[in-house]
Amino acid sequence: MSVPQTPHMFGASATAAEVIDGVDLHGRRAVVTGASSGIGVETARALAAAGADVTLAVRNTEAGARTVARLEAELPPESGQLTVGRLDLADRSTVAAFVAAWHGPLHILVNNAGVMAPPELIRTPDGRETQFGVNHLGHFALAVGLHPALAAADGARTVSVSSIGHLFSPVIFDDLDYRFRPYDPWTSYGQSKTANVLFAVGAAERWADDGITANALMPGNIADTSLARHMDMQQVADFIAAGELALPPQKTVEQGAATSVLLAASPTVEGITGRYFEDCAQSEPVAERAGAVTGVAPYALDQDNATHLWTVSEAFIR
């Protein structure tokens, strides 16, 4: 790799291409979930441009193939190879099939795919509330399944795309699937995004001896993404008007992918693990949600919560 750039060179306006400039990933292999749209595409583009062989793990393989064709036409010839693998995070059988088909080391795993705030309660085929089931449990099963490949890479990195939305709710262990409390799309989203951070905290502790680092991040407020495809935009407007939802300034998708790429590949964060980042820097803790547009809730970094979630998640995916 090239001489590391100092972390203060990157900020909210940095793009994925700027973050990875000068980094050589030839010989490395990466998986990016949800890489057929939004920041997943830009994450895959940046990693491949640096030389990594990147697998786009997607539900719709035709859309993935179109993305690969577009990226191959745009990337320089020395870029890494792009391939497509089918992965539906709501369907554990496809997760198991993806894991079974993987051979050899895996250097970078970017858990990027997700669903945001469907207005009505939806359950996965195995009965989980869909945001918790997809955003957390599907990625948990994938990462645990790929753990031997990550351990074989001698310095692998796992990256979980969380959100400022984690401030909406901690993980409610007594009712993860909304079987007792009324369903709410935002607390549901919040607990799933908190779970993404807690996964990084738990993996950092468990997998340190394997040389694996694990971090989570907030990509930013990005309008041009399919993540919001289920959202009731009037509800969003009402939340903002009522002062219940604070949003940071908007970013482009290229800027939104920057923190994912930083954690996946930049030498500036070598050895850092179990943390939550935003705007290419570690986040400061916040004491309450009101008015917060940055920061991480203490419950999302709590080791006891991470341990409890890991135990519960293992039981769910058996």
Question: What whole-number distance in Å separates Cα of residue 71 and Cα of residue 36?
Answer: 10
**DSSP class per residue in 57-124:** EES-HHHHHHHHHHHHHHS-TTSPPEEEEE--TT-HHHHHHHHHH--S---EEEE-------SS--B-
Bridge partners of 29? 53
Output the CA–CA distances (angstroms, integers) from residue 231 to 117, 305, 313, in the order listed: 5, 28, 26
**215 Cβ contact list (under 8 Å, min separation 6):** 157, 158, 159, 160, 200, 204, 263, 269, 272, 273, 274, 275, 276, 277
Q: Residues 183, 189, 276, 299: which is the catalytic one? A: 189
**Catalytic-residue membership of 299:** no
Give the tokens for residue 284. Answer: 């400061």
For 21-32, b/e burial (b = at least 16 CB within 10 A) is eebebeebbbbb
Give the tokens for residue 141. Answer: 């099963």
Question: What whole-number distance in Å separates Cα of residue 138 and Cα of residue 229?
Answer: 19
- Identify the helix (H) or strand (E) that includes residue 39: helix 38-49
Strand, coil or helix: 53: strand
Q: Which residues are catalytic?
A: 189
